[in-house]
Amino acid sequence: MKILVCIKQVPDKDAKLVLDASGSGIVETQVSWEVNEPDRFALETGLRLREARGDGEVIACTIGPERARKALQSALAMGCDRAIHLVDPDFQNGDPMANARALAAVAGKEEAELVLCGSRSDDAGYGQTPMLLAGLLERPAAFLTIGVSLEGETLEVVRELEATRQETFNLELPAVLSIQSGISDVRYTSLKGIMAAKKKPVVQPSPAELGLSVENLGSKGSRLTVLGMAPPTKSSQCEFIEGDPATAAKDLFEKLRRDAKVF
């Protein structure tokens, strides 16, 4: 069974982001990068399904510039068999639909029976690509998956709902799953895995090789445009109350009564 796992490289969680001159993006040279956290759980899910089945192939795929190859190397070090890098400039800067078109073409060419994605990206956070991908492939799909097992050609899926509720149902392959963070413990990469990753193949197909028109990809094929970005504004301030305990307690009470109106 072929399992395609779609991953994304995003800025490190602790990175200090600086807006570029256009105001619609960040200065990428000042940022360290990592694999999107929900995508790491999707990778782990794919690897566990392969291991439980005892055979098959897990393929990592990403859309991104040359720096995104590092994300694929991380996936290969975890245990993926090979990787696909959509590095061509025509693939870049797409909205969820443009990205879904590219990933659907990869899934179709690879004849992947199962496509796994993280529930959302930690940078844009749209959470739309997995479901758009399923629609383009005309496959059943599940969102916010927190449990999955495979019996023959049938997936038993547990999906997270509101108010701590869960939903369990079956999906027939081929299918698309959007994996929620925390579905399982993500394995650490070993030195052996890192060394093995260097020998695993990474291909970089062009739009033409996937049978795609550049007019439907990247920024050209996007209907969503980012007009501007801005750092969040501070809506509150921290105030220190000085003095001895009795005076500070009296001042605090007055502020809570007068300003916060909690008394």
- Segment 207-241, tens digit of pLDDT: 999 999 999 999 999 999 888 888 877 777 778 88
What CATH number did the domain enclosing 111 receive?
A: 3.40.50.620
DSSP state of 258: I
> How many domains are there within the chain?
1
Tell me if 197 is assigned to some domain.
Answer: yes
> What domain range is 15 assigned to?
2-216
Nearest to 178 by CA among 148, 212, 208, 219: 148
Amino acid 64: pLDDT: 96
Pick the closest to residue 96 from 129, 137, 130, 118 (CA basis): 129
Q: Which pLDDT band holds residue 194 (cuts at 50, 70, 90)?
A: very high
- Asked if the structure places residue 244 within a domain, the reply is no
Both tokens of 179, joined, read 């994996």
- Rounded CA separation 97/128 (Å): 8
The pLDDT value given to residue 116: 98
Q: Does the residue 96 lie in any domain?
A: yes
Q: Is residue 182 part of a domain?
A: yes
Instruction: Give the model's confidence band at 69: pLDDT under 50 very low, under 70 low, under 90 confident, else very high.
Output: very high
Kindly state the average pLDDT of the residues 162-183: 93
Q: Alpha-carbon distance 176 to 5, whole Å?
A: 10
* Residue of 43, 103, 109 lying closest to 76 (CA atoms): 43
Asked if 41 and 184 count as a contact pair (C-beta separation under 8 A), the reply is yes
Structure tokens at 8: 């994304």
pLDDT digits over 236-250, tens only? 777 888 889 998 898
Q: Say if 253 falls within a structural domain.
A: no
Q: What is the pTM of this model?
A: 0.85
pLDDT of residue 31: 87
- Structural domain contains residue 148: yes
pLDDT tens track for 88-116: 999 999 999 999 999 999 999 999 999 99
Evaluate whether residue 252 is within a structural domain: no
Tell me if 189 is assigned to some domain. yes
Say how many CA atoms lie within 13 Å of 246 toward its Cβ: 0
pLDDT tens by residue, 7-25: 999 999 888 888 888 888 8
CB 144, CB 119: distance < 8 Å: yes
Rounded to whole angstroms, how far apart are CA atoms 129 and 135?
A: 10
CA terminus-to-terminus distance, the chain: 64
